[in-house]
Amino acid sequence: MMKRLPILLFLAIELVPIRVGVAADLPQAYDSCSGNRGAIFRLANSLYEQGQLAQAEAGYQFLLDMGVRNGYLYYNLANTRFRKGQLGPAILEYERALQYLPRNRDIRHNLEFVRNLMVDEELKPVQYGGTMGFIIKMHSLLNLRENLLGLALLLWMTAILYAWGALCPDSGMTRRTGWLRVTLLVLLLFGVLSAGIKIYQNERQHRAIILVAATEVRTGPGEDYSAAFSLHEGTAVKVESKRPDWVQIRLPNGFTGWLPGKDLEVI
């Protein structure tokens, strides 16, 4: 039996705007916020807790439209959309939240809970165990920014210890820290590999989520092509290429096809 979905809201210490865009007008309930991003976020949280989901969603979406990017913002928006019965959009926002907060247990629990409701259960992400599962877990502990910062720190520590060993090969410290140098070197190599995979995934492997209840995957970019199979909301796909109004996708099982661009959104 699945555990009850925990609905938890967080108050972010800082909401970082990365660009200024054009956002839709806020509902009248936000008039007292005077455009203050922090105030809008807190009021949206309050509206969510009062069950005013449409107004809470409008506040969260306004912040996103204005260029604010924050893991807690995505998380709260995902909870709101799930409570509104929007499975695909909820999974999309949980995935985006994890890119900022990869170690947050509440986000992972909620995402796993919602995935259990998917129609295309056979297309859920594969869960690995054993050594492979441990490696994947370690790889996913940090987001790209944290990974690069940790890599820089490891590089400096490794360089200092190896430089000390080269300059003072017979010192007691050099002999006692031999195991540490090897450990740091292994961690450094793992960090380089992990960062490289994350950069490649960010730049080349665009994943998207199906947002509509059901959509026909066609053999070509147009309604005149035959339907190959169907996909349902919440399913994650890899974007292969794009045409006007159409997107070529690939599934984990290797199947490919074309979908209307409006039926999915890149994470």
Spell out the CATH class of 206-266.
mainly beta
CA distance 145 to 158: 20
Angle at 185 between CA 165 and CA 156, to 5 degrees: 70
* pLDDT confidence tier of residue 43, bands split at 50, 70 and 90: very high
Kindly report the CATH number that applies to the domain delimited by 28-117: 1.25.40.10
* pLDDT confidence tier of residue 57, bands split at 50, 70 and 90: very high
> Three-state DSSP class for 232?
strand
- Domain limits, the chain: 28-117, 130-203, 206-266
* pLDDT confidence tier of residue 2, bands split at 50, 70 and 90: very low
Phi then psi for residue 202, to 5 deg, are -70, -35
Phi then psi for residue 208, to 5 deg, are -135, 160
How does DSSP assign 7-48, residue by residue? ------S---B------PPPPGGGGGGTT-HHHHHHHHHHHH
* pLDDT confidence tier of residue 24, bands split at 50, 70 and 90: low
* pLDDT for 5 beyond 50: no
Of 4-8, 33-37, 152-156, give the range with the top mean pLDDT. 152-156
Strand ranges, E, within the chain: 206-210, 214-218, 227-232, 236-243, 246-250, 256-260, 264-266
* pLDDT for 91 beyond 90: yes
Residue with tokens 């070197």: 185
Q: pLDDT digits over 62-78, tens only? A: 999 988 988 999 999 99
pTM of the predicted structure, to 2 decimals: 0.76
